[in-house]
């Protein structure tokens, strides 16, 4: 961060209202756009049995196929008044609006790093996180539509990468143990002591979880935009599963061999009562016990964990569910911090006053509505 011209205020409990960041119009515009985009994405991806669909990776996702087969039983009688090809411009307009507004509010939070309060930066980070997490699953409904214009695809990739670069530092700031101790304190106070501040287990776990979810969303976005770059990932995962399946077959084969050898050795031992036959019999029964009771369950557990992890990572339904979960969690964060600030009476003024900064985001919602009108 650039140095501040004036020493940042790190001890203020009260602060002035800023409707352009935390106003009801700004938050409403983000939420309407986010939920609209998520609903469109959910409907389109879950109802693709009526449209032509080729997976981005070139491999079918078994978990998605299973879930879609159940959804198909309920949605087959319902006829959509649109096709995937006709609705794609609407999805693109809604998702692009999320991307631009997310960049705008995050840029405002970073530009005002010396003066913006920790309360307002928490709202900025939450709204930016909503925009980032909602944009990625919207690409599933586009089904390669962005590939028609390589220049625009590159532009969206750059903007998505910039937003990702803004989200990551904000996560470190928001989950710092000293963040929001005083709502009115400057966010620069956190940036100045971000590395040297103490940590606790809860904040570290939340920080790690949010970083994993954010990086996951970014990688999935890049995989949708440039599928050929990540096409080796499903091949590697399938190779790992094939190795595990081969190992399980080998274990079953070895256990069968140990049983057969032990049975034949037992007959020899009963006839000769030799010590050598007894030792051989004991060895084969011990190996059979180890393979069947210890080795086989361990490999089955590992195989199930690897298979489940692969299906979760590759599943688009899981991605959409993740977007819903993250969006809902961030909305709860925004609502709770606003209610807490109002009940604590630490805000000077009202953030519900309507002005240019609140009306403009709501007016931008007209753009996807116009695109929808053009489609129909």
pLDDT at position 304 = 81
Q: Give the residue among 289, 158, 143, 299 at the shortest CA–CA distance from 218.
A: 158
**What pTM did the predictor assign?**
0.77
Q: pLDDT tens-digit profile of 215-237?
A: 988 988 887 777 776 666 666 66
295 against 86, higher pLDDT: 295
Would you say residue 166 has pLDDT above 90? yes
Q: Which segment, 120-129, 137-146, 238-247, 251-260, is predicted with the most confidence on average?
A: 120-129
Q: Which segment, 38-47, 52-61, 109-118, is predicted with the most confidence on average?
A: 109-118
CA dist 339 and 353 (Å) reads: 16
Q: pLDDT tens-digit profile of 308-363?
A: 877 777 777 888 888 899 999 999 999 999 999 888 888 888 887 777 777 777 77
307 against 205, higher pLDDT: 205
pLDDT at position 57 = 43
pLDDT at position 1 = 59
Please check whether residue 255 is in contact with residue 291, taking contact to mean a CB–CB distance below 8 angstroms.
yes
158 against 257, higher pLDDT: 158
Mean pLDDT to the nearest integer, 257-280 = 71
pLDDT at position 330 = 93
> What phi and psi values does residue 144 have, to the nearest 5 degrees?
80, 5
Residues 6+ apart with CB under 8 A from 140: 41, 44, 45, 224, 316, 319, 320
3-state secondary structure at position 349: coil
pLDDT at position 75 = 65
DSSP one-letter string for 47-112: TGGGS----TTSS--HHHHHHHHHHHHHHTTPPPSS-HHHHHHHHHHHHHHHHHHHHHHHHHHHHT
Would you say residue 282 has pLDDT above 50? yes
Strand partners, 186: 117
pLDDT at position 67 = 74
pLDDT at position 79 = 67
Q: pLDDT tens-digit profile of 168-216?
A: 999 999 998 889 888 999 999 899 888 766 667 778 888 999 999 899 8
- Mean pLDDT of all residues belonging to the chain: 79
Mean pLDDT to the nearest integer, 61-77 = 71
3-state secondary structure at position 16: strand
298 against 158, higher pLDDT: 158
pLDDT at position 230 = 64
> How many angstroms separate the Cα of 265 from the Cα of each of 252, 268, 285, 287, 290?
20, 5, 10, 14, 18
CA dist 94 and 29 (Å) reads: 12
Would you say residue 56 has pLDDT above 60? no
pLDDT at position 49 = 42
265 against 157, higher pLDDT: 157
12 against 75, higher pLDDT: 12
């Amino acid at each position: 961060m650039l140095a501040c011209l004036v020493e940042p205020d790190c001890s203020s409990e009260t602060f002035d209202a800023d409707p352009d960041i935390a106003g009801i119009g700004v938050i409403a515009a983000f939420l309407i756009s986010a939920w609209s985009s998520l609903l469109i994405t959910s409907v389109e991806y879950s109802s693709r049995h009526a449209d032509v669909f080729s997976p981005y990776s070139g491999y079918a996702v078994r978990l998605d196929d299973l879930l879609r087969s159940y959804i198909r039983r309920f949605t087959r009688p319902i006829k959509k008044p649109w096709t995937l090809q006709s609705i794609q411009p609407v999805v693109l307009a809604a998702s692009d609006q999320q991307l631009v507004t997310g960049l705008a509010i995050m840029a405002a939070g970073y530009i005002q790093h010396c003066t913006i309060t920790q309360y307002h930066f928490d709202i900025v980070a939450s709204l930016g996180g909503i925009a980032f997490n909602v944009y990625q699953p919207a690409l599933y409904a586009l089904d390669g539509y962005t590939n028609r214009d390589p220049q625009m695809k590159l532009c969206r990739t750059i903007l998505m990468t910039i937003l990702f670069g803004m989200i990551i530092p904000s996560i470190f700031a928001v989950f710092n143990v000293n963040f929001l101790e005083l709502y009115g304190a400057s966010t620069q106070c956190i940036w100045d002591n971000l590395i040297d501040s103490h940590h606790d287990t809860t904040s570290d776990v939340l920080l790690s979880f949010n970083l994993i979810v954010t990086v996951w969303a970014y990688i999935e976005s890049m995989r949708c935009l440039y599928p050929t770059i990540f096409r080796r990932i499903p091949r590697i995962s399938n190779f790992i599963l094939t190795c595990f399946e081969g190992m399980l077959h080998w274990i079953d084969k070895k256990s069968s061999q140990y049983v057969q050898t032990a049975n034949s050795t037992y007959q020899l031992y009963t006839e000769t009562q030799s010590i050598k036959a007894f030792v051989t019999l004991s060895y084969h029964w011990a190996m059979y016990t180890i393979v069947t009771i210890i080795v086989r369950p361990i490999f089955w557990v590992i195989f199930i964990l690897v298979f489940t992890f692969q299906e979760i990572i590759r599943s688009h339904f899981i991605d959409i569910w993740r977007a819903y979960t993250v969006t809902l969690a961030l909305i709860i964060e925004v609502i709770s911090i606003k209610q807490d600030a109002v009940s604590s009476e630490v805000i000077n003024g009202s953030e519900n006053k309507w002005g240019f900064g609140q009306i403009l985001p709501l007016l931008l919602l007209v753009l996807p509505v116009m695109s929808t009108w053009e489609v129909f």
